[in-house]
Structures are given as C-alpha cells and as structure tokens.
Amino acid sequence: MIWVSWRQHRSQAITGLGLLGALAVYGIVLGLAMRGSFSQNNLAACLAHSQGANCPNSVYAFDNRFGSLVNIGFWSVLLLLPGLIGAVVGASVLGREMEMGTWRLAWSQTVPRTRWLAIQLAVVAGGLIVLGAAMTLVVTWYRAPMDRLTGHFVHNAYDYEGLVFTAYILFAFGLAVLFGQLLRRTIPAMLAALVPWVAARIVVEFLLRPHFMTPLAYSYSCSRNCGGNAIVDVPPVTGHLGDLLVGTGGTYQPASRFWEFQSIEAGIFVVLTLLVLGAAAWLLHRRAA
C-alpha cells in the first residue's frame, strides 16, 4: 500500500520538491544579499546598543533596498500557497479515485477501504509535513536579517516562520480530502476546500489570535525617537524590538511569546484537520460499495 500511495502521488511529490528548490534559490540569493548589507551598515552593533535609534539612516537604507521585496512581494506570493499545496494534494486522494472510477478496483481488494484511506493519509500527510517544515526553515533562514528589525510577530513573518505554515497546509489537505469525498471531482474539491480554509484563517487571525494570551502593559517613558519608525515595527517604549503593540491602549505582546502563539494556533488547525479527516473516513466507511 505504501508503494501504491507513492506511485499515485509521486508527481505531486516532484512538484513539491520543485517548489522547495525554487524557494531555496530565491532565499539563498536574497538572504546572502541582505546579510552582506546588514554587515556593511554595521546594523548588528547598532541594534545591540540602541535598538536602531542611533542609526536611522542605515535602517532606512536597508529597508529601501529589501523591504518591499521581502515584506510585501514575498508575502503576497506566499499568501495562498499553503492552501493551494494542501488542496491540490488532498483533492486527489478520494476525488480522483471517484472521478476516474478506480475506487471499484482499489476497494474490492483484501485491504479494507478504511485501512486503505488511513495508509494514504499517513503517507501523503507525512510528505506534506516534511515539505512544510523544509519551506519554513528556508524562509526563516533567509528572512533572519529583516526579522532583526521587525521581529517575528509581523504578519509577513508570523505565518511562515513557525509551526503554523505546516498546519495551514494540513488543514487545506484535510478539507480537500473531505470535499473530494463529497463532490467526487478533483478540481471542484480543490476550489471548495479553499473557501473554508480562507474563512478559518481570517477568523483565527483577526478574532482568536489577539486573545491567545493576555497582553502586557508598558509605561510610556523615553527621551527620544518615541514614535518609532516605519521599519522598526515597535517603538522602543517597550524596551525590546520585536514586541507587538496591541491597538493603542498601551498594551503589547512580548516577542518571547512567539512560540507560544505558534503552538496555540497550530494546535487549532491540527485539531480542525483531524476533525475533517475523521468526517471523511466516517463517510467512506458508511458509503455503500
């Protein structure tokens, strides 16, 4: 069964490796350029001593060269990528079998259909976890110089540098498996899976994420540069670059909570994934031969 699963999904695996390779090339080229500029402008020493307040020209020069490409362009390209990866792979697990009629052969063998599905899900989901983790490592490495200025809590870093990127892929995969079972067509299942995937991400990001942990209050006391700047995302009033200001009420989420937030959000999407995959398995078990 494992060999059969590989044979059925090897083209998708090769495509995934191609995406990873393209991302790695992009990341290496841009990451090395950012590291060179970071060193030439002596930004590391400036950040260590003044949180960037004593070298605004160097900070602005770095952002003018890399900011739009890294923070806007890259984020725009990758915004839907985890959903597309999961949906394309997941829709073929059941949708392709039913669309092409091969389920009649696959489910008439000695392997029960629920066991067949369990092996398929284990093999494919395992590959997606490896791919998601590898892409996360590439993004985290290449964005490291920019993250020293903005922190990891900004939207264009948070979604790609921790556990949630892989969790997003798995949730889209689970939805596509379920819709493939319901619609019995591959492409409609892909499109149908993206709608609740986007909706869930919006709900979690804007309604749930701000309440994962109670924000802390900071005292407004500084002698200069109190307004912050366009690049150093958090003004120095909190005392640490990378802290995330919450609204305008004098509260913030400390940068040290990044992994706690990542664990909570990834856990939410993993649970949702298990629920939709459980529903797909239940429907398959109940389906008449």
Does this model's pTM top 0.75? My answer is yes
In a domain, 87, yes or no: yes
pLDDT above 60 for 235: no
What does the pLDDT average to over 100-106?
A: 60
The band of 233, judged by pLDDT with boundaries at 50, 70 and 90, is very low
Burial of 25 (0-12, 13-18, 19+ CB in 10 A): exposed
Identify residue 42 by its one-letter amino acid code: N
Q: How far apart are CA 95 and CA 3, in angstroms?
A: 20
Query: Computed over its alpha carbons, how large is the radius of gyration of the chain?
Result: 22
Predicted pLDDT at 112:
73
Predicted pLDDT at 236:
52
What does the pLDDT average to over 54-64?
A: 82
pLDDT above 90 for 258: yes
What does the pLDDT average to over 221-247?
A: 57
Q: How far apart are CA 70 and CA 157, in angstroms?
A: 10
In a domain, 187, yes or no: yes
Predicted pLDDT at 109:
65
In a domain, 76, yes or no: yes
How many distinct structural domains can be found in the chain? 1
Predicted pLDDT at 173:
97
Phi and psi angles of residue 216, each rounded to the nearest 5 degrees, phi first:
-95, 160
Identify residue 78 by its one-letter amino acid code: L
225: Cβ contacts below 8 Å, ≥ 6 apart: 53, 56, 235, 236
Q: How far apart are CA 140 and CA 146, in angstroms?
A: 10
- Closest C-alpha among 196, 188, 162 to residue 276: 196
Predicted pLDDT at 64:
84
What does the pLDDT average to over 57-69?
A: 83
In a domain, 222, yes or no: no
Sign for the pseudo-dihedral over CA of 69, 73, 77, 82: positive
Structural domain range at position 64: 2-210+266-286
Predicted pLDDT at 141:
94
Q: Which residue has the tokens 């092996």?
A: 119
The band of 2, judged by pLDDT with boundaries at 50, 70 and 90, is low
In a domain, 230, yes or no: no
Q: Which residue has the tokens 């350029």?
A: 33
pLDDT above 70 for 106: no
In a domain, 270, yes or no: yes
What does the pLDDT average to over 230-253?
A: 67
What does the pLDDT average to over 75-81?
A: 81
In a domain, 252, yes or no: no
The alpha carbon of residue 276 and the mean position of all alpha carbons in its chain are separated, in whole angstroms, by 19
The terminus-to-terminus CA distance of the chain in angstroms comes to: 20
On the CB side of 269, how many CA atoms lie within 13 Å of its CA?
33
**Residue that wins the pLDDT comparison between 186 and 51:** 186
In a domain, 194, yes or no: yes
**Residue that wins the pLDDT comparison between 82 and 118:** 82
